[in-house]
Amino acid sequence: MRAVPLAGLLAGCGGVQSALDPAGFEAEQVARLFWAMLVASGVIWVLVLGLAHYASGRREKPWSQRDAGRLIVWGGAVVPTLLLAVLLFFGLRLMPELRAPGGPLRVHVEGEQFWWRVRYHPPGGAPVESANALVLPVGQRVEFSLSTRDVIHSFWVPALGGKMDMIPGRTNRLVLEPTRTGEFRGACAELCGASHALMAFTVRVVEPAEFEAWLAREAAPAAAGTGHAGEAAFLAHGCGACHSVRGTAARGAIGPDLTHLASRPTLGAGILENSAANRAAFIARVDEIKPAARMPAYGTLLDTEIAAIAAWLGMLR
Amino acid sequence: MIIRLTLRRIGLGLAALLLGGLLVGWSGVIYVGASGGHWPVTEWFLHWVMRNSVRTRALALEVPDLSGPALLDRGAGHYATGCAPCHGAPGERQNPIVQASLPPPPEFSKRFDPWKPEELFRIVQHGVRYSGMPAWVAIERHDEIWAMVAFLEKLPRMPQDEYQRLAFGPEGARQPSSGLIGIGAINTGGPAPPAQEALADCARCHGMDGRGRENDAFPVLAGQSEAYLREALLAFSHGTRHSGLMQPPAARADDAILGQIATHYARQPFAPVPHPPAETALLEEGERIARQGIPAEGVPACLSCHGGAALARNPSYPALHGQHASYLENQLVQWQAGTRGGGPYRDLMGTIAGRLSPEQNKAVAAWFARQDKASD
């Protein structure tokens, strides 16, 4: 029984969503600063306890007023000021590097209730619409512009860097520079409403060439599924009023773009594995799976129709 | 003799009263028959309590504008089948069976108490306990109850021919024996009996051609798909769509007959309603919502489900073009108030309608009313 909470604690030290297992420039700097501070504060803690032990137990004659005054001035004012000044120096020195402008690729992320609208702005190319999943090239500084219309979120990928708030009426900047490939997880770090705990996303960091290929695929219309029964049901029941599946009659812009839904690892903003069963469950019971989501539940459709839509969405790679 | 009041004696006395009361009730000597009537003092007391209750509970009500012929049409259509059997009507005497109930419902041609409109509203909405007067089937549909009040205000001075025209429609009123039987005799190539009789009931208000009256009292049914009409009728019949005007007639017919009625009206040729006047800015706003929605509020384009291509893909969604603006706006208001209910798709429209403002309701309703055909 003891092992469970301990394992839970240690899980925070590594894995897809840990600032202590950095995979980005900013996260590395912050992690290095964190470890240096942890070691230094450990040393200071030992020194202070040693001094207290000496003063209360070992030393037999009382402190003179002059010695006590000196100890307070040095131990209480001068040394802490010097230590904090050193810390401030290192902290300030990091900031220009972390704030340095990003490369040519820009990504706009808009916080919605409760999902992430993602728009890639490749240099010289048309914007590419996506949602709830990021793919980033390793070794490149990518500038994020973060905004929202009607909700407050905080955008955080602990393994890469951040976090940065999304506030209505503002566009905030954040630059991330992944330093190794892999799969990571981001989350909303600001209580945003009923589905705050269900407000996550995946980040896949890949080699630049692979990223270019992925972006070209993401920009293309949906390849599979034309004429599928699921497509007919999707369109007949009005799903296309809110969702776009480029290459079909579905051109809505209210909800997440589903053109390449099948290529995303998760559903519902990082909360469910992207399987046919989960897609069907999300369609039928979104109100239970994602409280306060703005999509109505479609449980009234026939099970066969829901299964067909889930199957068709699974073909949209 | 002096009896000292102690707690014990008071308790014993109350217990004896209670026991005695139960004993009298158990013995069966209390007369509960309707014949013979109340003692005058009982009658006075009951009526006094009822009048006071209605008066006090109507205090906070605000009376809307009750003028205009549409409210009279709606109220009269319901009165003919919902109220006249007990209260009589111009040209229809009260049934002697009803007169023998206690209290006998007032025959309105002989006695119409001077209730204020808001008091009539309370009585129609909630009925009267222990009197046989039922509550409105959908007490949350205030719009319908006010229509009933508007009609009742005019009823005491209403000539017979006007009443019959309002309650049975121009087709029904022309028949020698007016009303249901009369209109049922009209042969317009509709279904065979017994669906013919049910259809006659519908036609009193909606007309055989599904175009309703010359005003905007009733929605246009001609041009709707069979699937939509059937699902709407079943929703009324099974109580998932809430209306004191439509639930009773839908429940009078069985599901198979409702299907035949849907078939009949789906076959009637569509004709848009006369264009009501509307400001250009309002129509432009309505068109923008219909075609593009309001993305900032999460409102998708209306036409993505109610446009031509969408209606062809899913006949369960209603056509909105050429429908009365007042009807469309009222439906949006009912969605927003959570009082509408509906067919199998009701949760979808309920979700979306809640994101429109009253001005946007008006704009989008005005635009759809002016469309002669489905757009995309």
A67-116: per-residue pLDDT in tens?
Answer: 889 989 998 899 999 989 998 998 888 888 888 888 899 999 999 999 99
- Same domain for A15 and A139, yes or no, is yes
Nearest-Cα distance to chain B for A240, in Å, is: 7
Where among B267, B293, B308 does a domain terminate? B267
Q: What is the pLDDT of residues B224-235, one digit of tens each?
A: 999 999 999 999
Band (pLDDT 50/70/90 cuts) for residue B271 is: confident
CATH number for the domain harbouring residue B176: 1.10.760.10
| Residues of chain B contacting A235 with CB distance shorter than 8 Å | 313
Of B374 and B126, more confident: B126
B293 shares its domain with B256 = no
- Asked if the C-beta of A42 comes within 8 angstroms of chain B's C-beta atoms, the answer is no
Q: Token match 């005019």: residue?
A: B154
Q: B317 vs A149: CB contact, 8 Å cut-off? A: no
ipTM: 0.80
Is residue A3 predicted with pLDDT exceeding 70?
A: no
Q: Report whether A202 contacts A282 (CB < 8 A).
A: no
Question: Which residues in A lie closer than 8 A to residue B351 (C-beta atoms)?
Answer: 294, 296
pLDDT at position B18, please?
97
Strand partners, A172: A146
Q: Inform me whether the C-beta atom of residue A10 falls under 8 Å from chain B C-beta atoms.
A: no
Query: Taking CB atoms and an 8 Å cutoff, what residues of chain A touch B314?
Result: 236-238
> Is A253 an interface residue toward B (CB < 8 Å)?
yes
Indicate if B132 and B191 belong to the same structural domain: no
Looking at the structure, tell me whether residues A201 and A251 fall in a common domain. Answer: no
Rounded to whole angstroms, the maximal C-alpha distance in chain B is 96
The total domain count for chain A is 2
pLDDT at B367 over 50: yes
Pair A56, A196 in one domain: yes
- Which residues in chain A have Cβ-Cβ distances shorter than 8 Å to B311? none
B193 interfacial to chain A (CB closer than 8 Å): no
Domain membership of residue B17 (yes or no) is: no
Domain assignment of residue B31, yes or no: no
Identify the band that residue A12 occupies on the pLDDT scale cut at 50, 70 and 90. low
Binding-face residues of B in 288-327 toward A, CB within 8 A: 293, 295-296, 298-301, 304-305, 309-310, 313-314, 317
Q: Please report the pLDDT score of residue B375 as a whole number.
A: 86
Residues of B in contact with A240 (CB under 8 A): 304
Q: Does A252 reach chain B within 8 Å, measured CB to CB? A: yes
In a domain, residue A216? The reply is: no
DSSP category for residue A227: T
Evaluate if residue A118 carries a pLDDT over 90. Answer: yes
Domain identity same for A254 and A184: no
| Amino acid sitting at position B353 | A
Q: How confident is the model at residue B2 (pLDDT cuts 50, 70, 90)?
A: confident
Q: Is A256 on the interface with B (CB under 8 A)?
A: no
How much is the pLDDT for B178?
Answer: 40
Tokens (6 digits) for B172: 């029904």
Q: Is A315 an 8 Å CB contact of chain B?
A: no
Note whether A167 contacts B: Cβ–Cβ < 8 A.
no
The whole-angstrom separation of Cα B189 and Cα A126 is 60
Question: The domain spanning residue A177 has which CATH number?
Answer: 2.60.40.420
Report chain A residues whose CB lies below 8 A from the CB of B240: none
Whole-number pLDDT of residue B272: 81
Is there a domain that residue A89 lies in? no
Task: Provide, as residue numbers in chain A, all residues whose Cβ is less than 8 Å from the Cβ of B299.
Answer: 254
CB pair distance less than 8 Å for B348 and A249: no
Which positions in chain A touch B350 (Cβ < 8 Å)? 296
- The reply to whether B9 falls in a domain is no
pTM value?
0.85
Q: Closest chain B residue to A298 measured between Cα atoms?
A: B348
Instruction: Select the residue of B305, B344, B347 nearest A241 (Cβ to Cβ).
Output: B305
Which residues in chain B are contacts of A283 at CB distance < 8 A? none
Tell me the nearest-neighbour CA distance from A300 into chain B, angstroms. 6
Chosen domain end from B267, B291, B309: B267
Residue B35 counted as domain residue: no
More confident residue, B193 or B113: B113
Q: Which pLDDT does position A1 carry in this prediction?
A: 42
Q: Using only the alpha carbons of chain A, give its radius of gyration.
A: 26
Residue B151 has pLDDT above 70, yes or no: yes
Which of B299, B305, B345 minimises the CB distance to A300? Answer: B345
Per-residue pLDDT tens over the stretch B33-90 = 999 889 999 999 999 999 999 999 999 999 999 998 999 999 999 999 999 999 999 9
In a domain, A283, yes or no: yes
Look up residue A178 and give its two tokens.
């992944």
- Asked whether the beta carbons of residue A241 and residue B345 sit closer than 8 angstroms, the reply is no
Domain-located, residue B20: no
For residues B315 and A238, what is the distance between their CA atoms, to the nearest angstrom?
Answer: 12
Residues A31, A144 share a domain: yes
CB contact under 8 A, A238 and B350: no
Kindly state whether residues A168 and A241 are assigned to the same domain: no
CB burial of B240-275 (b: ≥16 within 10 Å; e: otherwise) equals ebbbbbbbbbbeebeeebbbbbbebbbebebebbee
Query: Per residue in A15-24, pLDDT tens?
Result: 899 999 999 9
List b or e across A131-161, with b for residues whose CB sees 16 or more CB atoms inside 10 angstroms: bbbbbbbbebbbbbbbbbeebebbbbbbbbb
pLDDT digits (tens, 9 = 90+) for A141-187: 999 999 999 999 999 999 999 899 999 999 999 999 999 999 999 99
Same domain, yes or no, for B287 and B350? yes
Asked if residue B146 and residue B55 are part of one domain, the reply reads yes
Residue A6 has pLDDT above 60, yes or no: no
Mean pLDDT across A244-272 = 93
How many CB atoms are closer than 10 A to CB B22? 10
For residue B294, the chain A residue with the least C-alpha distance is A254
> What is the reported pLDDT for B109?
87
Whether A25 and A174 share a structural domain = yes
Q: Are residues A235 and A202 in the same domain?
A: no
Q: Are residues B289 and B336 in the same domain?
A: yes
**pLDDT value for A95:** 84
Cross-chain residue pair B350–A240, CB shorter than 8 Å? no
Say whether A294 and B348 touch across the interface (CB within 8 A).
Answer: no
Tell whether B59 and B149 lie within a shared domain. Answer: yes
Contact yes or no for A242 and B305 at CB 8 A = no
Q: What is the pLDDT of residues B161-198, one digit of tens each?
A: 999 999 998 877 555 444 444 444 455 555 667 788 89
Judgement on whether residues B132 and B188 belong to the same structural domain of the protein: no
Q: Evaluate whether residue B287 is within a structural domain.
A: yes
Handedness of CA B29, B32, B37, B40 (dihedral sign): positive
Specify the pLDDT at position A208: 95
Contacts of B304 in chain A (CB under 8 A): 238, 240-241, 252
Q: What is the pLDDT of residue B176?
A: 41
The residue type of B75 is G
Question: How much is the average pLDDT of B122-131?
Answer: 95
Higher-pLDDT residue of A276 and B170 is A276
CB contact under 8 A, B351 and A235: no
| Among chain A residues, CA nearest to B314 | A236
Q: Which residues pair with A133 in a beta bridge?
A: A202
Last residue of a domain, one of B158, B181, B203: B158
Q: Does B240 touch chain A (CB under 8 A)?
A: no
Among the three residues A207, A239, A268, which one is the final residue of a domain in this structure? A207
In B, which residues are within 8 Å of A300 by CB distance? 344-345, 347
A1 in any annotated domain = no
Domain carrying residue B185: 168-267
**B185 in the same domain as B131:** no
pLDDT at A162 (0 to 100): 84
DSSP class of B326? H
Domain carrying residue A192: 10-60+101-207
Does residue B45 sit in the same domain as residue B153?
yes
Domain annotation covers residue B364: yes
Are residues A156 and A272 located together in one domain of the fold? no
pLDDT confidence tier of residue A8, bands split at 50, 70 and 90: low
Q: How many domains does chain B have?
A: 3
A187 in any annotated domain? yes
Contact B352 A296 (CB under 8 A): yes
Mean per-residue pLDDT of chain A: 91
Indicate if B140 and B219 belong to the same structural domain.
no
Residues A285 and A237 in one domain: yes
Nearest residue, CB atoms, B298 vs list A232, A238, A254 = A254
| Spatial distance between the Cα atoms of B144 and A161, rounded to a whole number of angstroms | 60
The average pLDDT across A289-305 equals 93
Residue B351 to chain A, least CA–CA distance (Å): 6
**What percentage of chain B carries pLDDT values higher than 70?**
94
Same-domain status, A158 and A34:
yes
Question: Per the domain annotation, does A22 fall within a domain?
Answer: yes
Residue B27 lies in a domain: no
**What does the pLDDT average to over B281-294?**
95
A178 plus A309 within the same structural domain = no
Give the model's pLDDT for residue B196.
86
Q: How many interchain CB pairs under 8 A, A with B?
A: 44
